[in-house]
Chain A
Amino acid sequence: MTRLILRRLLALPALLVATSLLTFLLLEAAPGSFFLRLSEDPAFPPELIQALEARYGLDQGVFVRYGRWLVAALSGDFGPSLTYGVSTTSLIVERLSNTLLLTGVALVIAWGLAVALGITGAVTRGRWPDRLVSVVTFGGMSTPRVLLALLLLWFAATSGVLPTGGMRDLVRWDRMSTGQRWADLAAHVALPALAVALPAGARIARQLRATLIEALGQPAILAARARGLSGPRVVLGHALSWAANPMITLLGYSVGGLLAGSFLVEVVFAWPGMARLTVEAVLTGDEPMVLASVVLATTMLTLGNLVADLWLVARDPRQGRAPEASS
């Protein structure tokens, strides 16, 4: 397991350099620049634009700039945002917990939903509950996340049951008790988390159903049934355990999928997370901000996958061994 961790951690810097370099080159290839936009404003004459470009090192060659950024990034300094003039790290930290909250709630909903639907489909294979699960999961997978988010927003607006966006009731928040704040936060996170979770949950549910059906046909499960174990005990205690490994692998991927999905939903629901900051940075060409966001997202995805792999190895140590050379 130690070797697995070391191997993954050693690969991380190379992955980060590759993704950041690719991002940097893509930003370079895009027309215009951050300060070109400022030149629309008569208060920014060409001399001032040049001074600003020099101040942020944008008058240097592409690879010189990337090299400088990389050296600074190695010491944890991702540079100042061109838009806000303050450290990108401080801007990201302010929003990261909000994105993690949304993704975390969505993860719980997606997996809760997937387990319920997957088991139902598997144990009622071929009967109407299974067919209903298939229709629901097919619908969940086929509906674009943005459309789903807009539909949920429309529901909120017409029903008045849940808030229409944001993360809290900003006007009354300061006067709420802690309990009221919990309730308010839960009400605000419900719909965006559903929008993030439903497509992912549907996908996982289909996967889980197929794996469980396979598991239920295994000799060990048949033996368990023959010993007289109850249906729920066979499914929850034995079949689910048998199906756990591929599901754990899927967990690593689902974290990445949910994180990416939450970016779209954050924009629709005005959720104050990383998405708006990153999207705005991409649109305006705020290079340091985009690079810092990409590095952070890559790190989170890699670490998410690492955690899933470690869990897998902990359950089944054979998964951590290197394949033996065949003679």
Chain B
Amino acid sequence: MPCRAVVLSLLTLFLAGCQACSDAPAPEGRTSAERVPNPPFVEPLPAGAWTVEDIEPGRHGGDLVLAVTASPRTFNPLMGSDGITVEVVHIPMYAPCWRFDYVKQAGGPGLCAQAEQSEDGLTWTFTLREGLRWSDGQPLTTDDVAFTWQVLMDPEVPAPGRSLFEQGKTEEGKPRYAGFEQVDPLTFRITLYEPIASFPLMMSSVRWVPKHTLHKVWKAGRFTEALGVNTPPEQVVTSGAFRPVKYRADEQVVLERNPHFWQVDSKKQRLPYLDRVIFLVVPDQSAAFLKFRQGETHAWNVPTDHYDRLVREAPEKGYLVHELGASLNTAYLMFNLDPGLDDAGQPVVDPIKRGWFERLGFRQAISHALDREGMVRSVLHGRGEPLCSFISPGNVRWAPPPHPTCTFDLDKSRALLAAEGFVERDGKLHDPEGHEVTFSVVTNAENSVRVHLLNVIKEDLARLGISVRVRPVPFNELLAALKTHRRFEGLVLGWGTAVPPDPALFKNVFLSSAPNHFWHPSQKTPARPWEAKMDTLAIQVNTLVDEQARKKASDELMALFSTQQAQTMLVVEQAYAASRSELGNFKPTPLRPRTHWNIEQLYLKSLPR
């Protein structure tokens, strides 16, 4: 026995030793008081460098530490589109052609200095900045843009960005894509079959990849695996403010300044200010809270349940808590209007129940019976807002005017139901044929907020005599019901949003032919007159060039959505962020990533000694 203990101890010490000695210590001096950029910038400044005027000139140096909930899935900007990969890879490492300002919710030049639209709105000509370089010093030209386009259009590469450029179908029924033309090393042109609103911003969600490092990989048919998380970080070449230097699975991603970055502040100091950015992987929000509170991280995307304590301790601990208004993650109740049949030839929804759901008065009555203010109080603990529209009020540019269909009014509900022939007997609601009104509503059990909302809905509808069966199920089962077998009566789910939060991106929901038209998806022709009208408005929102006309069409679309109660919107949570007071140019917004969308502008006012 003692012998075994000795062997096990030695083995453990060996493993610990391997962990302790696996990396050589980095040189000291990153926190020096002189604040010399380390790594230094490579001169000269690109000829087409962009001067960022609307920021406070900062100081170079220091490490920014942020917590994220998971490791990125890949360093390949064309293959990863999940939230964490966007936060850790896209935003800091790959600059867009056309930059989106999260505060102003407006676009502006990025890698492209100019974007010109032809008179017919179908041709866009983009001009790159002069003197751009990748992080390894190689020139960034339209060769790289053309290569990215080639890869994107390669049917062997399952890149999610390709669908952005899909414009209808060919005569053979295959997807038809926009055309690309490389004019010269600084100019390229994209030709559309039909106009796309805010096209420069839309296309900027596709980040360019370097031809000089990835062309051979693509030719060998291995692009999908390229730049995976097992790639040595020094082989990852970037166009953004930072480049990776270290990746430890489920622990951290360390980035350092891209010395060729092309932005300067009004004092002609080069950006980014920070030497390094360290993303710590902290899956648990309570652990992330402790790390921020103890000063281990500089900023934090605050969940609502930690807000009160954070605010209480802010003066003592010396940090700032920012209230950002309504978030863009919404919650809704929806009924299944799908008349389809399942594999056994049976209707996916009981025709009697679908008959109720199809009645406009029924859907509006449900909306008026829901006490959204109560939901905010009891479920969100006051940290939220009632929601009446598909677009959250947090989307300041596109939120529509208030709509009257979500006021809490039980008398109005009863009147609407009576007008549709429903009667209440013995405390239970019956349809005109005498069937008792009862249905089930599913939601994903992992989301406690949605389960709580569903319980409140059950109580609210009981006041009308409606019996709701609450069915929390695993998320995969919910998705299978929504996307595959379609056997559900009602559900509670939510919408997030992409960036930019432009209504053009919502066509996947509003078009009756779209797969995310969840109440009755993938229709060949609009099944209901209001859906035909919705199609027309959604197409206008996607194609109108004039921004005022687009806003008008968008508001009309949202009003139609609310009137028809295609989905009964419920509530939206408030968004909060917290930062250490030494963090300069910190401009959090409800859009993700809330804390570091402008990471190249962030700086540390003081450095630890």
Contact = CB atoms under 8 A, between A and B. Distances in A.
Contacts of B246: 174
Nearest to B29: A175
B23 A174 contact: yes
Interface stretch (B8-16, B211-219, B548-556, B584-592): B8-16
A176 B19 CA distance: 13
B607 to A, nearest CB: 13
A107 B6 CA distance: 12
Interface string A128-143: 0000000000000000
B229 A86 contact: yes
16 contacts: A39-B515, A46-B515, A55-B224, A86-B229, A108-B12, A115-B1, A115-B5, A168-B251, A174-B25, A175-B28, A176-B25, A181-B20, A247-B1, A251-B4, A270-B250, A272-B249
A119 to B, nearest CB: 11
A44 to B, nearest CB: 5
Given A108-B8, A164-B291, A167-B251, A186 B16 contact: yes
B296 A171 contact: yes
A84 to B, nearest CB: 6
A182 B9 contact: no
Interface string A247-275: 10001000000000000000110101100
A70 to B, nearest CB: 22
Given A36-B476, A41-B81, 8 more contacts: A43-B160, A45-B515, A52-B158, A84-B229, A86-B230, A98-B19, A171-B280, A181-B21
Contacts of A80: 225
B601 to A, nearest CB: 22
B252 A48 contact: no
B162 interface: yes
Contact of B282 (A33, A267, A270): A270
Interface in B240-273: 246, 248-252
Nearest to B516: A42
Contacts of A107: 8, 12
B21 A55 contact: no
A277 B280 CA distance: 16
Contact of A100 (B15, B63, B155): B15
Contacts of B251: 166-168, 170, 272
Interface stretch (A13-21, A89-97, A214-222): A89-97
A47 B498 CA distance: 21
Contacts of A176: 25
Interface of A: 30-33, 36-37, 39-48, 51-52, 55, 80, 83-87, 90-91, 94-95, 97-98, 100-101, 104-105, 107-108, 111-112, 115, 153, 157, 160, 164-168, 170-171, 173-178, 181-182, 185-186, 189, 240, 244, 247, 251, 267-268, 270, 272-273, 276-277, 280, 285, 311
A189 B16 CA distance: 10
A256 to B, nearest CB: 15
Nearest to A280: B70
B479 A48 contact: no
Interface string B470-511: 000011110110011000000000000010000001001000
B1 A48 contact: no
Contact of A175 (B18, B21, B26): B26
Interface in B287-321: 287, 290-291, 294, 296
B195 interface: no
Contact of B16 (A83, A182, A273): A182
A311 B230 CA distance: 38
B72 to A, nearest CB: 9
6 A-B pairs with least C-beta separation: A32-B476, A86-B228, A272-B250, A43-B160, A31-B477, A104-B12
Contact of B249 (A94, A112, A189, A267): A94
Given A47-B175, A52-B158, A270-B287, A170 B278 contact: yes
A108 B283 contact: no
A31 B81 contact: no
Given A84-B74, A277-B250, A174 B26 contact: yes
Contacts, number: 185
Interface in B122-162: 155, 158, 160-162
Contact of A84 (B63, B65, B73): B73
B79 interface: yes
B15 A40 contact: no
Contacts of B26: 174-175
A236 B433 CA distance: 85
B163 interface: yes
A41 to B, nearest CB: 6
Contacts of A45: 163, 166, 515
For A48, A86, A100, A277, the residue with the greatest tally of chain B CB atoms inside 10 Å of its CB is A86
A82 B293 CA distance: 36
Given A42-B505, A108-B12, A270-B281, A95 B249 contact: yes
Contacts of B284: 165, 268, 270
A313 to B, nearest CB: 15
B608 to A, nearest CB: 10
Nearest to B481: A31
A43 B158 contact: no
Contacts of B76: 85
Contacts of A44: 81, 160, 163
Contacts of B476: 30-33, 36-37, 285
A41 B160 contact: yes
B28 A178 contact: no
A240 to B, nearest CB: 6
Nearest to A251: B4
Contacts of A41: 81-82, 160
B9 A108 contact: yes
Given A32-B476, A39-B479, A43-B163, A164 B290 contact: yes
Nearest to B507: A42
B491 to A, nearest CB: 13
Contacts of A33: 476
A172 to B, nearest CB: 10
B164 interface: yes
B582 to A, nearest CB: 15
A58 to B, nearest CB: 12
A155 to B, nearest CB: 12
Contact of B281 (A105, A181, A272): A272
Contacts of B8: 104, 107-108, 111
Nearest to A156: B290
A268 B11 CA distance: 25
Contacts of B166: 45
Nearest to A46: B515
B516 A31 contact: no
B248 A272 contact: yes
A197 to B, nearest CB: 12
B498 A42 contact: yes
Nearest to A273: B250
B229 A95 contact: no
Contacts of B479: 32, 36-37, 39-40
Contacts of B505: 42
Nearest to A32: B476
Given A42-B505, A46-B515, A84-B74, A178 B250 contact: no
B480 A84 contact: no
B332 to A, nearest CB: 14
For B158, B230, B294, the residue with the greatest tally of chain A CB atoms inside 10 Å of its CB is B158
B5 to A, nearest CB: 6
Contact of A48 (B16, B65, B162, B280): B162
